[in-house]
Amino acid sequence: MANEPKVTKLNTKPSSPKDKAIEAVVENVSAIAETAADAAPAPASEPAQALASMTKDSAAQTRTAMEKTMDQTTRSTEGLYKATEDAMEFGRGNMEAFSKATQAYVSGLQDLSKQAFAVMQAMNEHAMQNAKAVASAKSLREAAELQTTFAKAQLEKSMSEATRLNEAAFKLAEQASAPIAARMTLAMERMTRPAAFA
């Protein structure tokens, strides 16, 4: 129609199937309004002309309102879709961090077990050497001195090795928990950021 107001489209992106569906709905509503306006008998009086004009204006306003509503709905849906994708990506990162932490823990625990076994083996060898020395002692006093020296050396060795193994265990705990701690920090940062759904 010549005097129908032009409605400019808000979306200048290339048409996707979703945009085409929206355009089809808007065009159908406009076509129905135009058909209703064209099918009306020629206005004979001023009130009839006002009614026809109101019908045309109403159709244009309806079309504009629908386009705005569809545009807002599209933007909200896209924001929700992005938020869902971000949440899934964050969950995937959490699983990877948990996997890395588990691998580091198991690997470190194996190393720690090997170290503990080596310490026990060295202490047993030292005990066997001491037992041979005590057995070959020429006097009871010499055997007592050997046993005292052995006990003191074993105590010092066990204390130093226990300290070393404890330090290794603490280091292992730090290494194994590092990926999870990093994810917790990231989660706290993300929780303090404002969400945008516009």
Max CA-CA distance within the chain?
Answer: 141
Handedness of CA 39, 40, 43, 49 (dihedral sign): negative
Compute the distance between CA of residue 160 and CA of residue 166 in angstroms, rounded to an integer: 10
Of the candidates 161, 163, 178, the one whose C-alpha atom is nearest the C-alpha of residue 116 is 161
Name the pLDDT band for 54 (thresholds 50, 70, 90): confident
54 vs 189 pLDDT, higher one: 189
4-13, 26-35, 59-68, 181-190: the lowest-pLDDT one: 4-13
Handedness of CA 31, 36, 40, 43 (dihedral sign): negative
Name the pLDDT band for 13 (thresholds 50, 70, 90): low
Indicate the average pLDDT of the chain: 81
∠ CA(132), CA(134), CA(137), 5° rounding? 110
DSSP 140: H
- Summarised one tens digit per residue, pLDDT across range 83-116 is 889 889 988 988 999 999 999 999 999 999 999 9
Residue 101 amino acid letter? A
- Summarised one tens digit per residue, pLDDT across range 60-87 is 788 888 888 888 888 888 888 888 898 8
pLDDT of the residue at 193: 77
How many other CB atoms sit within 10 Å of the CB of residue 24? Answer: 10
Structure tokens belonging to residue 61: 């306003």
CB 86 within 8 A of CB 197: no
Name the pLDDT band for 1 (thresholds 50, 70, 90): very low
DSSP helix/strand/coil, 81: helix
